[in-house]
Chains A and B, each alone.
Chain A
Amino acid sequence: MTTVNLKRRGRDVKGAAFKGVLLLSLIVGFATLVTLLVDVFRKGWQYVDETLFTNPPSIDPAIAGARPAILATIYLGLMVILFTVPIGVGTAIYLEEYADRRRWYNRLLELNIQNLAAVPSIVYGILGLAFIVRGLGLGQVLLAGALILTLLVLPNMIIASREALRAVPDTIRQGGYALGATQWQVTARQVLPAALPGIATGSILSVSRGIGETAPLIMVGAVTYVAFDPTILGPFTALPIQIYQWVRLPQEEFRALAAAAIIVLLGILLSLNAVAIWLRNRYQRRW
Chain B
Amino acid sequence: MSVTDAPVKIAGDLQRESTPRGAAVFDVQNVGVSYDGNLAVHEVTLPIYEKQVTAIIGPSGCGKSTFIRVFNRMNDLIPNAKVHGKVLYHGADLYGKDVDPVEVRKQIGMVFQKPNPFPKSIYDNVAFGPRVLGWRKELDERVERALRRAALWDEVKDRLKKNALGLSGGQQQRLCIARALATEPDVILMDEPASALDPIATTRIEDLMHELKRDYTILIVTHNMQQAARVADMTAFFSVDIAPEGDRTGILVEYDETSKIFTQPSDQRTEDYVTGRFG
Chain A interface (Cβ < 8 Å from any Cβ of B): 100-102, 169, 171-182, 185, 189-190, 193-194, 285-287
* B133 touching A190, Cβ below 8 Å: no
Q: Mark B108-141, 1 if CB is under 8 A from A, else 0.
A: 0110101011111000000011001100000000
10 A-B contacts, Cβ less than 8 Å apart? Answer: A174-B77, A174-B116, A175-B112, A176-B118, A177-B77, A180-B129, A180-B133, A181-B129, A190-B128, A285-B165
User: How many residues on chain B are close to A (CB under 8 Å)?
Assistant: 27
Q: Does chain A have a CB within 8 A of B52?
A: no
Alpha-carbon distance between A214 and B133 when the two chains are bound, in angstroms: 52
Q: Which residues of B contact A182 (CB under 8 A)?
A: 102, 132
Q: Besides the contacts A178-B74, A286-B165, what 6 more A-B pairs have beta carbons closer than 8 Å?
A: A175-B118, A175-B176, A177-B77, A178-B72, A179-B105, A185-B132
* B74 touching A174, Cβ below 8 Å: yes
* A180 touching B119, Cβ below 8 Å: no
* A179 touching B119, Cβ below 8 Å: no
Instruction: Please give the distance in Å from A95's CB to the nearest CB on chain B.
Output: 15
- Smallest Cβ-Cβ distance to A169: which chain B residue: B116
- Smallest Cβ-Cβ distance to A173: which chain B residue: B77
Alpha-carbon distance between A179 and B188 when the two chains are bound, in angstroms: 11
Candidates A101, A102, A172, A178; contact of B105 at CB < 8 Å: A178
Q: Say whether, besides A174-B112, A175-B112, A181-B128, A190 and B118 are in contact (CB < 8 Å).
A: yes
- Smallest Cβ-Cβ distance to B115: which chain A residue: A171
Alpha-carbon distance between A63 and B179 when the two chains are bound, in angstroms: 67
Q: Does chain A have a CB within 8 A of B53?
A: no
Residues from 85 to 112 in B contacting A, C-beta threshold 8 Å: 102-103, 105-106, 109-110, 112
Q: Does chain A have a CB within 8 A of B258?
A: no
- Smallest Cβ-Cβ distance to B133: which chain A residue: A180
Q: Say whether, besides A102-B79, A185-B132, A178 and B110 are in contact (CB < 8 Å).
A: yes
Instruction: Please give the distance in Å from A285's CB to the nearest CB on chain B.
Output: 6
Residues from 159 to 191 in B contacting A, C-beta threshold 8 Å: 165, 176, 179-180, 183
Alpha-carbon distance between A177 and B180 when the two chains are bound, in angstroms: 11
Instruction: Please give the distance in Å from A172's CB to the nearest CB on chain B.
Output: 6
Alpha-carbon distance between A102 and B165 when the two chains are bound, in angstroms: 35
Q: Say whether, besides A178-B110, A180-B103, A285 and B77 are in contact (CB < 8 Å).
A: no
Candidates A171, A173, A286; contact of B114 at CB < 8 Å: A171
Instruction: Please give the distance in Å from A140's CB to the nearest CB on chain B.
Output: 47
- Which of A102, A173, A179, A286: most chain B CB closer than 10 A? A179
* A171 touching B116, Cβ below 8 Å: yes
Q: Mark B63-88, 1 if CB is under 8 A from A, else 0.
A: 00000000010100101100000000
* A100 touching B77, Cβ below 8 Å: no
Nearest 7 CB-CB pairs, A to B? A180-B106, A171-B116, A178-B110, A179-B129, A180-B105, A175-B116, A181-B132
* A177 touching B74, Cβ below 8 Å: yes
Instruction: Please give the distance in Å from A167's CB to the nearest CB on chain B.
Output: 12
Q: Which residues of B contact A185 (CB under 8 A)?
A: 132
* A100 touching B79, Cβ below 8 Å: yes
Q: Which residues of A contact B118 (CB under 8 A)?
A: 172, 175-176, 190, 194
